[in-house]
A and B are shown apart, each in its own frame.
Chain A
């Protein structure tokens, strides 16, 4: 199964939590979306499907 995390195809990612862990150790100020829809932290154990696009976002300097 392959999912896309922050634009990069990855193998071995089963849940949203796995996807987050793949790109950052931080937990504060992090949000995740699957196919454009926000996934609350309480649901990060949700299983991903093949081809899902996960975005893992945080604060950056801006406007």
Chain B
């Protein structure tokens, strides 16, 4: 992290675990394990997501090897689940497979938009919290739902910027800011980030971190975009802490008129 920033920032902590990077990287979409490893390294992330799927007898190497080589933590997700029951079962299997109670909880409600199903999501979150999981729910940008998830005991809330994989950036900055202003747990902007300025904007709005995958893994040069995202997250965080100037309708001279020559 930038030294000026690190000297002024507080630690980024989820459920008592501190992270040096405010960027969480999803691994979906990488063309190869080599490309993924380069992107993880360039991003500076300390936590990456994986999905749980049937073993592929023909697979060569595992994404877990890449994660281990890179020395980063693993955050299993429940991607592809459409009901609370499916998601809860997937989380239990992930805990067994990876030995971690952490889960990125996804319960999708619509095949075209992949938007979260709020009713199933809250149901699954309540069950998993009761079972001792550290639950990080992928949620819509609804401040009320975010509060309900926090009240249910989630360790963070992860509102979307835009639908998964769209790269549309922050569609509702006002809602995202409302969530950030009221949440007592970390707010992690998850999904819909397209490029570096989107990640910076999410951080400027008050997010504690950004989670993204496609923007990096499907970029023409994933490692370069990963580095851009690393810098954008740091820049956005620094700008947030620095305190932006208020917006004005009319100009305000940055150069004083006093002492102006009579020409």
List residues of A whose CB falls within 8 A of some B CB.
6-7, 23-24, 26, 28-33, 36-38, 40-41, 55-63
Min Cβ gap B100→A in Å is 11
Instruction: Determine if A62 and B89 form an interchain contact, defined as CB atoms under 8 angstroms apart.
Output: no
Q: Given A58-B62, A63-B104, decide whether A31 and B28 contact each other with a Cβ distance below 8 A.
A: no
> Can you identify 17 A-B contacts, CB atoms within 8 angstroms?
A24-B55, A26-B55, A28-B62, A29-B98, A36-B89, A55-B93, A56-B55, A58-B55, A60-B52, A60-B56, A61-B36, A61-B51, A62-B77, A63-B26, A63-B106, A63-B138, A63-B213
A38, A55, A58, A63: the one within 8 Å of B28 (CB): A63
Hey, which chain A residues are within 8 Å of B213, CB to CB?
A: 63
Interface flags, B164-184, vs A, CB<8A=1, else 0: 100000000000000000000
Instruction: Determine if A59 and B89 form an interchain contact, defined as CB atoms under 8 angstroms apart.
Output: no
Hey, which chain A residues are within 8 Å of B79, CB to CB?
A: 62-63
Min Cβ gap A51→B in Å is 19
List residues of B whose CB falls within 8 A of some A CB.
26-30, 36, 49-57, 62-64, 74, 76-77, 79, 89, 92-94, 96-98, 104, 106, 138, 164, 213
A6, A24, A41: the one within 8 Å of B96 (CB): A41
Instruction: Determine if B96 and A38 form an interchain contact, defined as CB atoms under 8 angstroms apart.
Output: yes
Instruction: Determine if B53 and A58 form an interchain contact, defined as CB atoms under 8 angstroms apart.
Output: yes
Specify which of B29, B62, B96, B98 lies most central, judged by the most chain A CB atoms within 10 Å of its CB.
Answer: B96
Instruction: Determine if B52 and A38 form an interchain contact, defined as CB atoms under 8 angstroms apart.
Output: no
| Residue ID in chain A nearest B98 by CB atoms | A29
Instruction: Determine if B27 and A61 form an interchain contact, defined as CB atoms under 8 angstroms apart.
Output: yes
For the complex of A and B, 6 pairs with smallest distance between CB atoms: A62-B51, A31-B97, A31-B96, A31-B93, A61-B27, A59-B50
B36, B55, B89, B138: the one within 8 Å of A38 (CB): B89
